[in-house]
Amino acid sequence: MTHRGSRVLHVGSLSRVEGEGALHLSVHDGTVTRAQLRIYEPPRFFEAFLRGRSYAEPPDITARVCGICPVAYQLSACAAIENACGITVDPALRVLRRLLYCGEWIESQTLHIYLLHAPDFLGCDSAIELARTARGHVERGLRLKQAGNAILELLGGRAIHPVNVRIGGFHRVPTVAELRPLAGQLERALDDAWQTVEWVSGFEFPDAEVDADLFALAEPETYAIETGTPAVLRADSDTPNLFPLHTFLDRVREEHLPHSTALHATLDGRRHLTGSLARFAISGRWLSRTAVRAARAAGLGDPRAGVFSRNPYRSILVRAVEVVYAVDEALRIIRAYERPRRPYTEVPATAGTGHGATEAPRGLLYHRYVLDAEGTVTDARLVPPTAQNQGAIEDDLRRTAQRAITQSDIEDEELTRLCERAIRNHDPCISCSTHFLDLTVDRT
């Protein structure tokens, strides 16, 4: 069916995203008047479950918000609770946390690149279909993902919901002899990550630009992953503005809209985007030499000169560069590893409020806990990246659909495919906040 002034289009569920959800598009006289990313999360009440729990428990409990990025939840929870208790963790343990997080980045970003996103660029329904014609590429992706999982399994005990993270550090830290064998697997993974950059840089990227403010953690001299200060790069500026983490909830406001069980967030009342594009814009200048070369090879320019991209289709390139970085960083940490004297820093219970934020593969994840003197959680707030990105994703959808309708007599099926792509560009983790997503377009 081709372009008409009025029509209703209904498609089942959005695929190749983490979690399930829906999209609603309203078109009046050729103008998109509404583009909603609908998140039908069966409410999961984590913030309520956390109340009354011991301060030792949020790392294990909040991991269960998301099987795709459990480490992000565990380490944001640890950071917030340690902050509430006024403790700084031993630097040797902080490095191991970064290594664990690199494992999650490699696994999760590779999952997104190969299994969820690349099929969009290659006209396939899945990586499994892709494997019929390009098995070597898919095998490389699976091998790379496996290298990320190997870090998670060794350091965390298992890849999904690792058991070895605790406030103050780890239950057990590996010996040098246990950690070293990972280096061989990661050296091969570095080749695979490079080949991934080369592979995805050959894709075709439609022109597009997000005009949202970019929002990520900044940790001068390093590419912020497990720690940092919130930094905003406004759409009309070249310099990020930093603000203290404890003011996060004054700046990032969540609003509850009727069409979605995920809360909608704005930053200083404006639309903002977290995730790979934002991180690359804010921290790109601190990428390792290897990752800078990868960025140039990917056609992203020189991040050290402050060059970055606002094209959401090119986010797959940034993810590929981030995988190179995470593998390179993991190798650096493993080669320099000396076993810390103690597996964790003691964190005695203290009454207080603590804030923690880390860079989940799909964007900034903030936690805040209020503890009483016994260390019981009396209040908890979790702000996942997808809830923050929802406004920017919807804006992107609206513009994508509008452009398509204005430029051509686009058929329903093609428009649906385009909208799904626009959503996947942002790698939404709907399970962090959501569930059922189906596409409805009414045209009146």
Q: Closest approach of Cβ 184 to other proteins, in Å?
A: 17
Question: Which is nearer to other proteins, 131 or 235 (by Cβ)?
Answer: 131
Please give the Cα distance from 89 to 98 (Å, whole number).
Answer: 13
The residue among 347, 397, 400, 336 whose CA lies nearest residue 371 is: 347
Shortest distance, position 325 Cβ to other proteins, whole Å: 21
Measured from the CB atom, the residue of 90 and 219 that comes closer to other proteins is: 90
Amino acid at 35: A
CB 436 within 8 A of CB 22: yes
Return the residue of 10, 51, 246, 335 that touches other proteins, per CB under 8 A.
51
**Size of interface with other proteins, in residues (CB under 8 A):** 70
Looking at 299-384, list the stretches that DSSP marks H as alpha helix, in order from N- to C-terminal side.
Answer: 315-335
Give the tokens for residue 307: 């060059």
Candidate ranges 23-31, 165-173, 201-209, 277-285; the one touching other proteins (CB under 8 A): 165-173
3-state secondary structure of 85: coil
Three-state secondary structure call for residue 218 = strand
- How many CB atoms are located within 10 Å of the residue 291 CB? 25
Q: How far is the CB of 347 from other proteins (least distance, A)?
A: 15
Return the residue of 125, 191, 198, 411 that touches other proteins, per CB under 8 A: 125
Binding span for other proteins by CB under 8 A among 92-100, 251-259, 278-286, 392-400: 251-259
Interacting residue with other proteins among 3, 7, 166, 399 (CB under 8 A)? 166
**Maximum distance among all alpha carbons in the chain?**
70
Beta-carbon contacts of 413 under 8 Å, excluding residues fewer than 6 positions away, are none
The tokens for 17 are 């995203």
Nearer residue to other proteins within complex by CB, 147 or 214: 147
Choose, by CB under 8 A, the member of 24, 137, 161, 443 that binds other proteins.
161
Phi/psi for 50 (5° steps) reads -75, -25
Annotated binding site for Fe cation: 69, 432
Q: Which residues does residue 364 pair with via DSSP β-bridges, in sequence order?
A: 359
Any residues with CB less than 8 A from the CB of 110 and at least 6 apart, and which?
141, 144, 145, 148, 196, 323
Name the minimum Å distance from CB 174 to other proteins.
10
387 lies in the binding site for other proteins (CB under 8 A):
no
With residue 46 as reference, give the H or E element that holds it. Answer: helix 46-50
Residue 230 within binding range of other proteins, rule CB under 8 A = no
Question: Are 75 and 43 spatial neighbours (Cβ–Cβ below 8 Å)?
Answer: no
Least distance from C-beta 409 to other proteins, angstroms? 24
Q: Does 269 bind other proteins (CB under 8 A)?
A: no
Residues forming the site for other proteins (CB under 8 A): 12-20, 42-49, 51, 53-54, 57, 60-61, 64-68, 70, 111, 115-116, 119, 125-129, 131, 135, 138-139, 142-143, 145-146, 149, 157-161, 163-164, 166, 170-172, 254-258, 261, 263, 343, 420, 431, 435-436
